[in-house]
Structure 1
Amino acid sequence: MKYAIALFLALGATPACAGSFAAPAGCETYLTVQSRGCRVSNHYTCTADQPGDKWRADFDQEGIYFLSRIDNQTQWVESFELNPQVRQTLDANPADPASFDALLAGRDDFDFRLSKDNGARSHVTGYDALTGKSFVIDGVTLQQTEFEFTETDPDGNVLRHARGNEYIHPEWRMFFAGPSEWDENGEWFPSDGSPVQFIQPGEPGFAATQPIFECGALMSQTPGNSLMQKVRHEP
Structure 2
Amino acid sequence: MMRRTLVVLSLIGSPAMAADVFALPQGCTAFLTIQSRSCAVEHHFTCAADPEGLKRRVSLSEDGLTYLGSTDEDAQWLSSFYPFTNHREQLEDSPKDPASLSTLLKTGADSYDFRTLSDEIGSTRYVGEDRLTGKVVTIDDVALQQTEYEITAYADDGSTLWSSQGNEFVNAKWRIFIGGTGTVTVPERPFDKDDRPVQFIYPGEPGFLSANPKFDCGAILSSAPSVTPKEYPHDNL
TM-score (norm 2): 0.91
Give a deviation string over 1:98-135, Cα, whole Å, max 9, x none. Answer: 11111002000001011112151111110000000011
8 A contact 1:122–1:153 mirrored in 2: yes
- Is there any run of 5+ residues in structure 1 with no aligned partner, and where? none
Code of the aligned partner of 1:116: S
Name the counterpart of 2:139: 137
Name the counterpart of 1:54: 55
CA distance in 1, matches of 2:229, 2:121: 18
RMSD: 2.1
CA distance in 1, matches of 2:215, 2:38: 7
Name the counterpart of 1:87: 88
Name the counterpart of 1:154: 156
Name the counterpart of 1:73: 74
Name the counterpart of 2:110: 108
8 A contact 2:164–2:232 mirrored in 1: no
Q: 1:197 aligns with which of 196, 199, 210?
A: 199
CA distance in 1, matches of 2:224, 2:27: 35
Indicate the larger mover: 2-11 or 185-194.
2-11
3-state SS of paired residue (1:206) = coil
Name the counterpart of 1:177: 179
CA distance in 1, matches of 2:216, 2:133: 27
Name the counterpart of 2:46: 45
8 A contact 2:16–2:22 mirrored in 1: no
TM-score (norm 1): 0.92
Deviation at 1:84, TM superposition (A): 3.4
CA distance in 2, matches of 1:46, 1:216: 33
Deviation at 1:179, TM superposition (A): 1.1
Identity of aligned residues (%): 39
Code of the aligned partner of 1:198: F
